Structure 1
Amino acid sequence: MSTPSGFDELIHPSTRLSVVALLAATEWADFSFIRDSLSLSDSALSKQLHTLGEAGYLEIHKEGAGRKRRTKVRLTGRGRSAFDGHVAALRAIVEGAGPAADTTAATESAAASTSRTQDRQQHAEAGR
Structure 2
Amino acid sequence: MTELDPVIHAAARLRITATLAGLDEGDTITFPRLQELLDMTAGNLSTHLRKLEEAEYVAVVKAHRGRTPVTDVALTRRGRRAFEDYTDSLRSLLGGTP
TM-score (norm. length: structure 1): 0.69
2:9 corresponds, among 12, 17, 20, to 12
What's the secondary structure of 2:9's corresponding residue?
coil
What's the secondary structure of 1:34's corresponding residue?
helix
What's the secondary structure of 1:90's corresponding residue?
helix
Say whether 1:25 aligns with 2:18: no
> Structure 1 CA distance, aligned partners of 2:41 and 2:32?
10
Q: 1:94-105 counterparts in 2 under 5 A?
A: 94-98=94-98
More relative contact order, 1 or 2 (CA 8 Å, 6+ apart): 2
Aligned partner of 1:68: which letter? Answer: T
Number of paired residues? 94
Unmatched tracts of structure 2, length 5 or more: none
Match of 2:49 in 1: 49
Q: Structure 1 or 2: larger strand share? A: 2
Q: Structure 1 or 2: larger helix share? A: 1
Q: 1:99-118 counterparts in 2 under 5 A?
A: none
> Structure 2 CA distance, aligned partners of 1:91 and 1:32?
32
RMSD over aligned CA atoms reads 1.5
Unmatched tracts of structure 1, length 5 or more: 99-128
- The higher radius of gyration belongs to 1
TM-score (norm. length: structure 2): 0.90
Aligned partner of 1:14: which letter? Answer: A
Residues 10-59 of structure 1: CA distance to partner in whole angstroms, max 9, x if unpaired? 10011000000000011211101110111100000000111100111111
